[in-house]
C-alpha cells in the first residue's frame, strides 16, 4: 500500500458569497497519478489553487507529506516539494526559456543538481534546448506549455499539480506532453492532474475523482471511470 503524499479533507473555498468547493476530500498516494475531471466551473482549478495556497481555504485541511500546509506561505509549499503548473502556463514572457527554467529552481542551492535538471529538461523537451536563448513570449502555445511543465519540474517536486496541460494544443503536442508526464511519474513524481481531455487523463491516472459544482460525486481507478457509462456520456462524448 502506497503512503499518501497529499491528503485533502473537507476543503471549503469561497469567492465572496459563492461557495466554489463544498467540503471535498481526496488523496494522492506517493508516486501515483490522480486525475480530477469535471465540467467548466466545477471547481477543479480552485482545488489546485487551494492546495498550492494561491487561494485561501474557508475551512478544511491540506496535508502534504504528512504535514499540514493549509496556512503556510505559497513559497514554503514549493520548498517542501509541491509544484504547480497553472492553467494559462504562468511563464515570464519577457524572460528567455533558460531564465524561466532557472527561476523554477530559485529555492534550490545545489548548483550541480540544478545544472543536471536543466539538462534533463532539455532531454524531456528537445525544442526547449533549441529555444533556450529565445524570449518566452515568442514561443508557440505548445512550446510555452512544455516550458511551464519543465519549469515546475526544476523545483524537484515530490508532487506536481497540473492544470489543463493540453488546453488548446495540437494533438501531436498533447501526445508529447502526456508521454513526458508518464515518464516523470515513472521516475517517482506524483501527479494531480486537472484535464478537460478526460480520456487522456483517465488513461494516465491510477485513480480519479469527478467534481461537479464543488462536490466530488464519483471516484475510482482510471480504468473504472473510463468504463463508467455515466462518465462516458458526460465527459467522453459517447
- Is the per-residue pLDDT at 31 higher than 90? yes
What are the tens digits of pLDDT across the range 61-94?
Answer: 999 999 999 989 999 999 999 999 988 778 999 9
Single pTM value for the model = 0.94
Helix or strand holding residue 18 (H, E):
strand 18-29
Give yes or no for residue 1 having a pLDDT over 60: no
pLDDT digits (tens, 9 = 90+) for 34-51: 999 999 999 999 999 999
Q: Among positive and negative, which fits the CA dihedral 108, 174, 162, 14? A: positive
- Average pLDDT of the chain, as a whole number: 94
Domains in the chain with CATH codes:
1-81+158-170+189-238 (3.40.50.300)
For residues 22 and 31, what is the distance between their CA atoms, to the nearest angstrom?
27
Q: What is the C-alpha separation between 161 and 170, in angstroms, rounded?
A: 22
Query: What is the model's pLDDT at position 86?
Result: 86
Q: What is the pLDDT of residue 236?
A: 85
Residue pLDDT, tens place only, 100-124: 999 999 999 999 999 999 999 999 9
**Which string of b and e fits 58-89 if b means at least 16 CB within 10 Å?**
eebebbbbeeebbeeeeeebbebbbbbbbbeb
The x, y and z cell numbers of residue 83, run together, are 509544484
Residue 21's Cβ-count burial label (10 Å; 0-12, 13-18, 19+) is buried
Q: Report, as an integer, the average pLDDT of 177-192.
A: 96
Amino acid at each position: 500500500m502506497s503512503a499518501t503524499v497529499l491528503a485533502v479533507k473537507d476543503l471549503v473555498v469561497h469567492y465572496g458569497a459563492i461557495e466554489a468547493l463544498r467540503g471535498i476530500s481526496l488523496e494522492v498516494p506517493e508516486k501515483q497519478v490522480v486525475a480530477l475531471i469535471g465540467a467548466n466551473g466545477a471547481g477543479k482549478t480552485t482545488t489546485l489553487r487551494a492546495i498550492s495556497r494561491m487561494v485561501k481555504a474557508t475551512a478544511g485541511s491540506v496535508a502534504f507529506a504528512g504535514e499540514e500546509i493549509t496556512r503556510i506561505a505559497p513559497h514554503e509549499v514549493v520548498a517542501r516539494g509541491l509544484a504547480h503548473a497553472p492553467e494559462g502556463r504562468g511563464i515570464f514572457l519577457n524572460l528567455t526559456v533558460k531564465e524561466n527554467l532557472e527561476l523554477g529552481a530559485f529555492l534550490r542551492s545545489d548548483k550541480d543538481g540544478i545544472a543536471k535538471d536543466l539538462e534533463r529538461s532539455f532531454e524531456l523537451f528537445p525544442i526547449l534546448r533549441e529555444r533556450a536563448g529565445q524570449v518566452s513570449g515568442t514561443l508557440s502555445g505548445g512550446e510555452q506549455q512544455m516550458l511551464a511543465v519543465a519549469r515546475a519540474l526544476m523545483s524537484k517536486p515530490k508532487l506536481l499539480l497540473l492544470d489543463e496541460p493540453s488546453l488548446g494544443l495540437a494533438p501531436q503536442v498533447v501526445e508529447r506532453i502526456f508521454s513526458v508526464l508518464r515518464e516523470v511519474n515513472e521516475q517517482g513524481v506524483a501527479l494531480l492532474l486537472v484535464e478537460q481531455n478526460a480520456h487522456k487523463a483517465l488513461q494516465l491516472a491510477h485513480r480519479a475523482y469527478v467534481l461537479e459544482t464543488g462536490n466530488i460525486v464519483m471516484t475510482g481507478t482510471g480504468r473504472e471511470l473510463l468504463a463508467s457509462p455515466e462518465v462516458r456520456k458526460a465527459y467522453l462524448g459517447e
